[in-house]
Structure 1
Amino acid sequence: MSDTPVQTSATVLTVRQVQDYHALTLVAPAIAERFRPGQFVALAVGGEHTARLVRRCFGVYEVKPDYGGTVELVFADREPGTAWLAGRRSRDRLDLVGPLGRPFRLPRDPVSCLLVGGGPGGAALFALADTLHRRGCQVHFVLGGPSGGQVFGSRMARRIGDSATVTTEDGSLGEKATVRDVLPRVIQETGADVVYGCGPTDLLRSVTQVAGEYGLPSQVSVESFLRETGACGIGVCMTCMLPMHGEDGVTRMVRACADGPVLRGDRVRWGDLGTIPFDALGAPRVLAVAEGGDA
């Protein structure tokens, strides 16, 4: 099995409404057999004659050997590209590239794993949960969102997880709280050894901060950041750059798609997203000109 991404014409099996989101299942055996949890795919949208040049990037909810190898994605219908995808029908063909990016790193030994998700991005946690279970790990979920319709996978989490905590800001499902509110308690109750996060940037920032307070390693998927920036997904456009500091203490700009989407949470400079910090390697320098002097 090769780790090299492939471009393929995938056949739509189903498109269904799941709460506030859409779940798209594609027959794409070449991608299904190469996929590892945490990787993503990039879909061309708009059809053959579209003017939409940029693909849409999505984490993978589930892969199955059924029907020759299927890949299932979950997304919100928020702009013309995803609206077009939501309107696809069975047997339509879509141009698909994947699997792309770096996957989650898995524990060598059976440990207690806390999986934290929010919005459609949290769907990527379920492929990870399946792999962790097969390695003998305990899997605990924390899922959250503004309302019940925006919490994806709560029933599945309760079914397959060793525990599952659900929060909503309006109290319509689970506890009336934010993910940040319940994380310290859940970490203590589950005896978590490692924390994984998928979802909006604010959630990933909270996951990293709380995990750090308890001395736990965190891995986060910045796949939602890819969507927010409209990135190409293959490392060419450079729109998904974000600052990370390395073991040597030097900050470097990395591509969320090619160097991620899974990154060490404690290495990301969350407060500087969307900027090039002045101390980053290769950052542009402003030349100060003293009055009456030379630059």
Structure 2
Amino acid sequence: MSDTPVQTSGTVLTVRQVQDYHALTLVAPAIAERFRPGQFVAVAVGGEHTSRLVRRCFGVHEVKSDYGGTVELVFADTEPGTAWLAGRRSRDRIDLLGPLGRPFRLPRDPVSCLLVGGGPGAAAVFALADALLRRGCQVHFVLGGPSGRQVFGSRMAQRIGDSATVATEDGSVGEQGTVRDVLPRVIEETGADVVYGCGPTDLLRSVTQVAGDFGLPSQVSVEEFLQQTGACGIGVCMTCMLPVHGDDGVTRMIRACADGPVLRGDRVRWGDLGTIPFDALGAPRVLSVSERGSQ
């Protein structure tokens, strides 16, 4: 098995509706055998002669050995590219590249792990859960969304997890409230040693902040950030840049796709996403009046 990503043609096995999302299962053995939880794939959309040049990046929900190796992706139909994917049928072929990016770092010893997810991005926590369970870890879930139809995987979490907490803003499923509302209590109840997060940026920010309040390490996947920025997935277009603190305390701009998508939550400057902080290494500098006068 190699860590080198491959470009391959995957055959569509099924496309099914799961609440407000679509689950696309592809036969893609070359990617399935290389995949590690937290990595993603970049999918070409629109067909062979499309004008849509930018691929769509998705975290992987599940990898199975069926048919030599299948990969399942979960996504929301929000724009023409994802609408094209949602319209695929069995035996259609799709060009995809992967697995890409840095995976989650797994604990050496069995510990109590809290997995937090929201929206379609929550699908990626289940591949992680499988790896953690095989290592003998306790796995606890917190899943959230505006409504029950926008919470992915609540039944699966209840089936495989040591505990599963669901929070919806409208109270239609589980507890009424947000993930941030329930997270402190769940951390205390589960005795979590580490917190993992997948989903919207606001959720990842909350995961990082609450975990930090309890002195816990957090790892978060910024895969949704890749989708929002229209990133190429391979580190060439430079549209998914975000600021992080390094071990030396210096802020650097990194590529979410190539240097992530899994990052230490406490290293991300969440309040500065979408900007280049003035103190970042290599940031554009505003000249002082004296400096401008000397030019």
Q: TM-score per shorter chain, which class?
A: over 0.9
| DSSP 3-state at the match of 1:257 | helix
**Which amino acid in the other structure matches residue 176 of structure 2?**
K
2:63 equivalent to 1:24: no
| DSSP 3-state at the match of 1:258 | helix
1:22-77 C-alpha deviation (Å, 9 max, x unpaired): 00000000000000000000000000110000000000000000111100000000
| DSSP 3-state at the match of 1:128 | helix
**Which amino acid in the other structure matches residue 150 of structure 2?**
Q
Aligned partners of 1:151 and 1:294: how far apart in 2? 59
Q: Quote the offset at 1:294 in angstroms.
A: 2.3
The equivalent residue for 1:212 is: 212
**Which amino acid in the other structure matches residue 77 of structure 2?**
D
| DSSP 3-state at the match of 1:183 | helix
Aligned partners of 2:130 and 2:163: how far apart in 1? 14
Q: How does 1:1-295 map to 2 (within 5 A)?
A: 1-290=1-290, 293-295=293-295
**Which amino acid in the other structure matches residue 235 of structure 1?**
G
Aligned partners of 1:124 and 1:89: how far apart in 2? 23
Q: What is the RMSD computed on CA atoms of the aligned residues?
A: 1.0
Aligned partners of 2:110 and 2:68: how far apart in 1? 31
| DSSP 3-state at the match of 2:258 | coil
Q: Quote the offset at 1:292 in angstroms.
A: 9.5
Which 4+ stretches in 1 moved above 6 angstroms? Answer: none
Task: Please give the TM-score of this superposition, normalised by the length of structure 1.
Answer: 0.99
Aligned partners of 2:250 and 2:88: how far apart in 1? 46
**Which amino acid in the other structure matches residue 250 of structure 2?**
V
- Distance change in 2, residues 1:174/1:51 (3 Å): same
| DSSP 3-state at the match of 1:61 | strand
Aligned partners of 2:42 and 2:98: how far apart in 1? 7
1:181-238 C-alpha deviation (Å, 9 max, x unpaired): 0000000000000000000000000000000000000000000000010000000000
| DSSP 3-state at the match of 1:17 | strand
Which moved further from structure 2: 283-292 or 193-202?
A: 283-292
| DSSP 3-state at the match of 2:206 | helix
Residue correspondences, number: 295
**Which amino acid in the other structure matches residue 62 of structure 2?**
E
Task: Please give the TM-score of this superposition, normalised by the length of structure 2.
Answer: 0.99
Which runs of no fewer than 5 residues in structure 2 stay unpaired?
none
Q: Quote the offset at 1:286 in angstroms.
A: 1.4
Q: Quote the offset at 1:289 in angstroms.
A: 2.5
**Which amino acid in the other structure matches residue 269 of structure 1?**
R
Q: How many percent identity over aligned positions?
A: 89
- Distance change in 2, residues 1:172/1:290 (3 Å): same
Q: Quote the offset at 1:293 in angstroms.
A: 3.7
Aligned partners of 1:292 and 1:4: how far apart in 2? 48
- Distance change in 2, residues 1:191/1:87 (3 Å): same
1:233-277 C-alpha deviation (Å, 9 max, x unpaired): 000000000000011110000000000000000000000000000
